[in-house]
Structure 1
Amino acid sequence: YCNWCLKNQTDFKFEQIIYNEEKPYLIRTRQISLFYKTPNHLEVTVSEAKPITNKIFGNQFDRNILDSMQDVLLISEAEPLDSPGPRVLFVNSAFHRMTGYQESEILGRTPRILQCENTTIESRSDIRKGLASWKPFKVVLRNKTKSGEEFDVELSISPVADETGWFTHWISIQRDVTVQHKADEKLSETMIWLNAIIEAGKIGMWDWDLVTNQVRYSKEYKKQIGYEERELKDDFAEFESRVHPDDLHDVLKKATQTIEQCRDHHKTEFRLRHKDGSYRWIWAHASVIKNRKGKPIRLVGSHIDITEQKQLEAQLRQAQKMEAIGQLAGGVAHDFNNHLASIIGFAELLSTKLEDSSLQGYVNKILMSAEGSSLLTRKLLTFSRKDEVTFENVSIHEQIFEVLSILSHSLDKRIQLHTDLSAIDNTVLADKALVQSILLNLALNAKDAMPEGGILCIETHNTKPTIGNIPDVDKKSVIQIRVSDTGTGIAKSVMPKIFDPFFTTKDVGKGTGLGLATAYSAVTQFKGAIDVESRLGKGTSFVIELPLVEKSAHARSLCNSPDIRKEDVHAKTLLVVEDDSLVSEMLQETLEVLGHKSICVENGKEALALYEKQGEEFDAVILDMNMPIMGGKETFKALQQINADVKVIISSGYSAEHTVSELLASGVYSIISKPYKIADIDEAIRALP
């Protein structure tokens, strides 16, 4: 351009910034005459040369205004856009306060000297794009002060053009936003933390605008009832239509009362329909937001799914009922067993004295009936978990036959019953009543899983252990019991919980959730293992493996009690402490038949008084546990105070407080459980030294 002007000797205008004593000056020409005095000498006439500051503001008052600003004002050249960047022409006093640089230290230098290692590539790129657009823009970036301290700054940058429209400068308003950013970061962390708590606590949130009737539901709220966020509209009708019909009136009434009475909050429980059609129990808390006049304008609140809690409460109530039944059963069992003890004892005494053999059949029927009643009492105590586990040799096949006999009267005719009892060895060391209970429970579960009919199969096989780690029998044979059905099957999600106490998939009132948990516990006590296999729509198989009894093993069983042989009995004298007169009389006569002497008293106080005087005469004491005035435990301890070596045989119909192991550990010599036979009494006395 200059060459063209020189060649054509044309006047032209231009601007050029020069620096004198580190202060910028703007040279502006209005009319330039160009001519060569000699071929090598160009003469230029400059019409005007002003300092740039005089161009920006005309007097000191303008400068004072700019220096009073809290934000930084920075003016730079328009170019170059790329490195090293436009040079700074002016900064106000706020620049020093923000960066620590004096005005003289920044003028003529690029603002990019403020950038640091943590100035992101993205923010630098945003500045470059904004400059290239020649339009106003904003950007936030990380800078550093003269001392190296980092800070966040928000830049509002605008281009400035001269009267010809040419962009000559950039004006930047800069604000330190470090405190704001830290507050934003803290707020963001708090929100993340709160959202994590809400998610972990599975708390659904909602916001109801009472003015517009608009409702907003959180993601977790929708998730509680099975919906993705996009599937459920933010609409009050969506909530209202899903509340259980039996609960809707109370829910709306409580909300209306809260609004009309200007309450601060309310709580409620109700059922809300899930996407799968089931109902979930919801605990809701609502808080009221009021305007300046105290009028409610919004309800905000939370939903917590308490379905599992409700189920646990129902199961607990059921368990408490069972506990109450168990306590009742225990009390009834004591009295009932006393009666049975008298019946069995006197029937056996009658049997020993009958001369007319034709009457023996009647006595046997009395004994059979009494023994059946005794077994019924034992089952009642076992089911209510109030009886001590008694290990004895148990034939699994015999127990299966017992269960089949029971099932034959209760199975739906559409259910076919198949058995395959292939196990040759089937005797295990276990509790007979518990084994029968386990098998019956599994069979009834199979029946319930086939409401439309199917096949229930019970199988046994001898095999090596295939499930779990059965102690001491890893290389030995076990009996495997398999109870299978062709029913509905069990979902995979449920399988890990199948043996948990109180877990049930049955409807309320149709299951306690204790059957399989009890089975698992009992099988473990028997040193066995239990497992389950299932496929939805195909059926379920429960597999139990129990260690077999070795052929030389011996377990206590009433049927193996020794015969009464009076001739080889060493006569003993016994103190009988029994409050039931019939049982006391039966014991006295039984002991006499067995060749022993006895003295009977009705309670513990009488027993102690007699033992203190004549204790050396007694070889042992037969002591009832449940007595008035002084109980069996208290009497036993008092007897031990008189004679530490006293031999006490506990005679009990039922003891809720003391297990067999506890009594034996405390010094009791042996225990005979009512109702007992003469053979049981004989065996206990023969065992005395």
Structure 2
Amino acid sequence: MDHEPDNRLLTLVGCIRGIVLELDADAHYVGAWADDPLLLALPPEQLIGRTIDEVLGEAGAPFTAMVKRVYATGTVEHMEYPLTIDGVRRWFFADIKRVGQNDAMTVVFFGRDITERRATEDALARSEERYRLAALATNDVMWDWDLASDMVMWNAAVQTVLGYDELVTPATWWKDRVHPDDQASILSQLGSALLGDASAWSSRYRFLRADGSYADFLDRGFITRDGGGIPLRVVGSMTDVTQINRLQAQLMQADRMAALGTLAVGAGHEINNPLSYLLGNLDFVIEELEGVNEELSEPLREARDGARLIAEIVKSLKMFARSDDDRVGP
């Protein structure tokens, strides 16, 4: 049988960086070609006529079994396998197929170098694992928006924080739950970021929870673009800042009350000094006019009563300032 290599086959091997092996029913090498001689266990001329087990030893057992199985059944099989070449571990994907008819049948083993693809897949798997662990470690609602499909993937916090069961939703699901008073500005900001050249977007808004209440969120997203600047994907997280906003509002109220207390103390001090002179003089004049001029004494008594009322108000302001000071503190 003539087993000179087919020129088209050699061209194909050279283009894809791989090997082609031809084997008979007992897994003897009939032909062997490779774009890189290091991909073969031995030079091609030393392989011809020998079996896989003779060349590879125990490591060849699964290859031998597959060749014999494909030869017997005619099914097409596939496998991934590693090779260590010059100290570097490389991965290959092989198609094994029976060709020819009757006595001329052989099995062709067509292997392609997939080292780069395997490295990319491994890197992606590690990245997804880091993302999964980060999603588990945070209370933030994390989301991943695919702009091509307009679908959003959510982490489990969409259930624990917001109370929804959906983990994959259309983007309109999110938009419809932004508070009506916030929608226009939020969507405008997001649209401007996507249409421009921004790499990130952030905003604060109220978002509807499953129980019908609204919570305050700080939302931050990072935009991935293609080589032409077209946005492809936005990944981000929603942080519930409801409690923080409430505490900030309480702190601002406490600050205002403290300032009012300080003002009251200062005003009371400024009022008390002249008020004490006023009350003292009114008491003296009223006492001097007692039984002499009742017509004049009556309006003076009313004036004294008014001054005393002012003194009570000042006293109340001081008490309020002191009680407010007691409330504000750790």
- Give yes or no for TM over 0.5: yes
Q: CA RMSD in A?
A: 4.8
Partner of 1:182: 119
Residue of structure 2 in register with 1:300 after alignment: 234
Q: Is structure 2 residue 197 aligned with structure 1 residue 250?
A: no
Please tell me whether residue 74 in structure 1 is matched to residue 10 in structure 2: no
Identical residues among aligned pairs (%): 18
Render the CA deviation track for 1:81-116: whole Å, top value 9, x for unaligned.
Answer: xxxxx2323222446312553335544031682776
Maintained 8 Å contact 2:25/2:107: yes
Could you tell me how far apart the structure 1 residues matched to 2:166 and 2:9 are?
Answer: 57
Partner of 2:52: 110
Counterpart amino acid of residue 170 in structure 2: D
In the alignment, the residues of structure 1 paired with residue 206 and residue 237 of structure 2 have an alpha-carbon distance, to the nearest angstrom, of: 11
Partners in 2 of 1:71 and 1:89 — Cα distance? 17
The answer to whether 1:89 aligns with 2:30 is yes
Is the 8 Å Cα contact of residues 76 and 170 (structure 1) preserved in structure 2? yes
Query: Which one of 157, 167, 181 corresponds to residue 96 of structure 2?
Result: 157
Report the Cα distance in structure 2 between the residues aligned to 1:176 and 1:264, rounded to whole angstroms. Answer: 38
| Corresponding residue for residue 216 of structure 1 | 152
Correspondence 1:264 to 2:197: yes
Provide the secondary structure at the position in 2 that maps to 1:113: helix
- Flag the 1:63–1:198 CA change in 2: closer, same or farther, 3 A: closer
Q: How far apart are residue 317 of structure 1 and its match? A: 1.8
Q: Distance in 2 between matches of 1:115 and 1:336?
A: 104
Alignment of 1:372-391 (within 5 A): 377=318, 380-385=321-326
The 2-side partners of 1:318 and 1:129 are apart by 83
CA contact (8 A) 1:57 1:63 kept: no
SS in 2 for 1:309: helix
Q: Confirm or deny: 8 A CA contact 2:94 2:110 kept in the other structure.
A: yes
Say if 1:158 and 1:172, in contact at 8 Å, map to a contact too. yes
Preserved contact between residue 205 and residue 221 of structure 1 (Cα < 8 Å):
no
C-alpha displacement of 1:175: 2.5
Q: Measure, in 1, the Cα distance between the counterparts of 2:221 and 2:99.
A: 56
Q: Is the 8 A contact 2:175 2:183 kept in 1?
A: yes
Name the structure 1 match of 2:81: 141
| 1:311 aligned residue | 246
Amino acid aligned to 2:180: P
Aligned in 2, Cα 1:268/1:76: closer, same or farther, shift over 3 Å?
A: same
Native 8 Å contact 2:3 2:31 kept in 1:
no
Question: Secondary structure at the residue paired with 1:226?
Answer: coil
The amino acid across from 1:110 in the alignment is: I
Query: Map of 1:590-669 to 2, 5 A cutoff?
Result: none
Secondary structure of 1:229 counterpart: coil
In the aligned structure 2, how far is the partner of 1:336 from the partner of 1:128? 107
Larger radius of gyration: 1
Tell me which residue corresponds to 1:98: 39
Length, aligned pairs only = 289
Give the 3-state SS of the residue equivalent to 2:177 in structure 1.
Answer: coil
Separation in structure 2 between the aligned mates of residue 235 and residue 289 of structure 1, nearest angstrom: 19
Q: CA deviation at 1:312?
A: 3.4
Q: Give the Å deviation of 1:156.
A: 1.6
Task: For residue 185 of structure 1, report the CA deviation from its aligned partner.
Answer: 1.5
Separation in 2, partners of 1:130, 1:77: 12
Task: Give the aligned partner of residue 207 of structure 1.
Answer: 145
Query: How far is 1:221 from its partner?
Result: 7.1
Q: In structure 1, how many angstroms separate the alpha carbons of the residues matched to 2:320 and 2:186?
A: 47
- The answer (yes or no) to whether the contact 2:205–2:217 under 8 Å persists in 1 is yes
* Structure with more of its chain in helix, by fraction: 2
* Partner Cα distance (1:128, 1:227) in 2: 53
Q: 1:297 to 1:150 in 2, by over 3 A?
A: closer
Query: How far off its partner does 1:382 sit?
Result: 4.8
8 Å CA contact retained: 2:151, 2:170: yes
Give the Cα separation in 2 of the matches to 1:241 and 1:282: 15
Render the CA deviation track for 1:131-177: whole Å, top value 9, x for unaligned. Answer: 365322221123445x7764322112111232x3x683221112233
Distance of aligned partners of 1:178 and 1:271 in 2 relative to their CA distance in 1, 3 Å threshold: same
Cα distance between partner residues in 2 of 1:244 and 1:78: 71
The 2-side partners of 1:125 and 1:310 are apart by 69
Q: What is aligned with 2:290? A: none
Moved more, 174-183 or 199-208: 199-208
What is the TM-score with the length of structure 1 in the denominator?
0.34
Q: CA deviation at 1:75?
A: 1.5
Task: Name the residue aligned to 2:210.
Answer: 275
Give the 3-state SS of the residue equivalent to 2:42 in structure 1.
coil
State how 1:123-522 maps to structure 2 within 5 Å.
127=66, 131=70, 133-144=73-84, 150-162=89-101, 164=102, 168-201=105-138, 202-207=140-145, 209=147, 214-219=150-155, 222-223=158-159, 224-230=161-167, 234-255=169-190, 262-265=195-198, 267-285=202-220, 300=234, 302-305=236-239, 306-325=241-260, 327-328=262-263, 331=266, 377=318, 380-385=321-326
- Give the equivalent residue in structure 1 for 2:298: none
- Whether the 8 Å contact between 2:163 and 2:209 is mirrored in structure 1 is yes
TM-score under structure 2 normalisation?
A: 0.64
1:307 and 1:313 mapped to 2: Cα distance?
A: 10
State how far apart, in whole Å, the 1-side matches of 2:121 and 2:147 are: 27
* 8 Å Cα contact 2:258/2:321 also seen in 1: no
State how far apart, in whole Å, the 1-side matches of 2:92 and 2:10 are: 23
Partner of 1:78, secondary structure, is coil
Distance 1:75 1:301, change over 3 A: closer
SS at match of 1:384: helix
User: Greater relative contact order (Cα 8 A, min sep 6): structure 1 or 2?
Assistant: 2
1:379 deviates by 6.7
| Partners of 1:150 and 1:252 in 2: CA distance | 50
